[in-house]
């Protein structure tokens, strides 16, 4: 039997019920997780034993995106060690503090020390740490234009827009659908400000980084209409943070919200 390297090959063999018993939101997310080595075939209880046995030997896991980002993080830590925090603080909207550089992320200070390590009272994750170091090292500090556009209209977004749509907007929508009240409470704890003049039920801006704001628009489900969520960005965002890192930042938000929802939701379940 040939090796299975593409998540779509596995997806075709699942029942596509999106029942979430594997603790992931969909059969597609499960297929990707298996190929990335984050889940085992046997984690889907809907597959019978024979199928699990037959498929397990065929999966060719590849270095996960997380592994690649970990390597990237180590390189960025070495680069940040050469940065003079006092000279970059104005450009990035941060402040040099004792022991490092403070950058306001979602209304809370995240402090980077000379070794590139991150300290914060917030939930920290790889998806935030990599963009934050990139922002400090490579951001140009361009003034925001006030012109909001969808991710796919940002310069250089072509290769990333599908990922942003699936892993940031769609995943965030699922959290908002399943835990609407808690989701918006968390956003408000993170300093989200309401925006007027939009046609969504909820329109809020948050600042994951001082010069890379996100506008989150959410339409609640109505009779005959599904819910909808989109994220708009300032047109100059790619000058302040590389486009791939804007995608990571979006994922960082989703991971952070997910961790908080699991912690604070009464039954401790995500869906
Ligand atoms: S448990 Fe299996 S069938 Fe259910 S969502 Fe996960 S992969 Fe799909």
Q: Could you tell me the distance, in angstroms and rounded to a whole number, from the CA of residue 28 to the centre of ligand 1?
A: 9
C-alpha distances (whole Å) from 52 to each of 40, 161, 253, 270 are 9, 33, 34, 25
CA distance 155 to 77: 27
Rounded to the nearest 5 degrees, what angle is found at the Cα of 165, between the Cα atoms of 179 and 200? 55
Q: Where is average pLDDT lowest: 68-72, 82-86, 87-91, 189-193?
A: 68-72
- Whether residues 19 and 111 share a domain: the answer is no
Q: What is the pLDDT of residue 7?
A: 82
pLDDT > 70 in the chain, percent: 93
C-alpha distances (whole Å) from 130 to each of 118, 126, 174 are 10, 6, 25
Q: Is the CB of 44 under 6 A from ligand 1?
A: yes
- Whether residues 117 and 51 share a domain: the answer is no
128 lies in some domain: yes
Residue nearest to atom 4 of ligand 1 (CA): 19
* Chain mean pLDDT for the chain: 89
CATH number at residue 25: 1.10.15.40
Q: Which atom of ligand 1 is nearest to the CA of 15?
A: 3
Mutate to test the pocket of ligand 1, among 23, 24, 27 (most ligand atoms within 8 A of CB): 27
104 lies in some domain: yes
Whether residue 57 contacts residue 3, with contact meaning beta carbons closer than 8 Å, is answered with no
Could you tell me which residues come within 8 angstroms of residue 257 by beta carbon, excluding any fewer than 6 positions away? 172, 175, 183, 186
143 lies in some domain: no
Average pLDDT over residues 2-27: 86
- Cα 30 off chain centre by: 17
Q: Is 184 exposed, middle or buried (0-12, 13-18, 19+ CB in 10 A)?
A: middle
Q: What is the pLDDT of residue 145?
A: 97
271 lies in some domain: no
- Whether residues 222 and 251 share a domain: the answer is yes
Q: What is the pLDDT of residue 17?
A: 94
With 70 as the cut, is the pLDDT of residue 266 above it?
Answer: no
CA distance 198 to 206: 15
* Residue whose structure tokens are 């209880």: 45
Per the structure, the count of domains in the chain is 3
When pLDDT is cut at 50, 70 and 90, the band that residue 8 belongs to is confident
Q: What is the pLDDT of residue 62?
A: 61
With 90 as the cut, is the pLDDT of residue 75 above it?
Answer: yes
Average pLDDT over residues 4-29: 88
- Whether residues 157 and 247 share a domain: the answer is yes
When pLDDT is cut at 50, 70 and 90, the band that residue 77 belongs to is very high
The residue range of the domain holding 186 is: 148-264
With 60 as the cut, is the pLDDT of residue 271 above it?
Answer: no
Q: What is the pLDDT of residue 131?
A: 93
With 60 as the cut, is the pLDDT of residue 189 above it?
Answer: yes
- Whether residues 115 and 216 share a domain: the answer is no
With 60 as the cut, is the pLDDT of residue 117 above it?
Answer: yes
- Whether residues 182 and 94 share a domain: the answer is no
Return the higher-pLDDT residue of 161 and 265: 161
Mutate to test the pocket of ligand 1, among 12, 14, 51 (most ligand atoms within 8 A of CB): 14
pLDDT in tens, 212-229: 999 999 999 988 899 999
* Residue whose structure tokens are 């997806």: 11
pTM summary value: 0.74
Whether residue 154 contacts residue 236, with contact meaning beta carbons closer than 8 Å, is answered with no
């Amino acid at each position: 039997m040939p090796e299975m390297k593409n998540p779509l090959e596995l997806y075709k063999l699942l029942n596509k019920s999106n029942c979430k018993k594997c603790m992931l939101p969909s059969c597609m997310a499960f297929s990707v997780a298996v190929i990335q080595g984050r889940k085992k075939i046997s984690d889907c209880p809907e597959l019978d034993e024979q199928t699990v046995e037959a498929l397990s030997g065929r999966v060719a896991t590849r270095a996960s995106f997380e592994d690649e980002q970990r390597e990237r993080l180590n390189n960025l830590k070495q680069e940040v060690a050469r940065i003079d925090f006092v000279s970059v603080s104005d450009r990035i909207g941060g402040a040099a503090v004792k022991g490092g550089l403070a950058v306001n992320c979602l209304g809370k200070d995240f402090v980077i020390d000379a070794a590139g390590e991150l300290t914060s009272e917030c939930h920290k994750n790889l998806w935030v740490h990599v963009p934050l170091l990139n922002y400090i090292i490579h951001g140009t500090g361009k003034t925001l234009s006030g012109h909001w556009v969808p991710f796919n209209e940002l310069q250089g977004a072509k290769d990333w827009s599908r990922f942003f749509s699936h892993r940031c907007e769609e995943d965030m929508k699922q959290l908002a659908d399943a835990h609407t009240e808690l989701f918006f409470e968390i956003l408000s704890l993170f300093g989200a400000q309401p925006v007027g003049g939009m046609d969504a039920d909820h329109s809020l801006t948050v600042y994951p980084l001082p010069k890379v704001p996100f506008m989150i628009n959410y339409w609640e489900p109505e009779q005959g209409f599904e819910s909808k969520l989109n994220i708009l960005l300032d047109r100059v965002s790619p000058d302040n943070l590389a486009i791939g890192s804007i995608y990571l930042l979006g994922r960082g938000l989703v991971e952070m919200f997910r961790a908080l929802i699991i912690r604070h939701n009464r039954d401790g379940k995500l869906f």
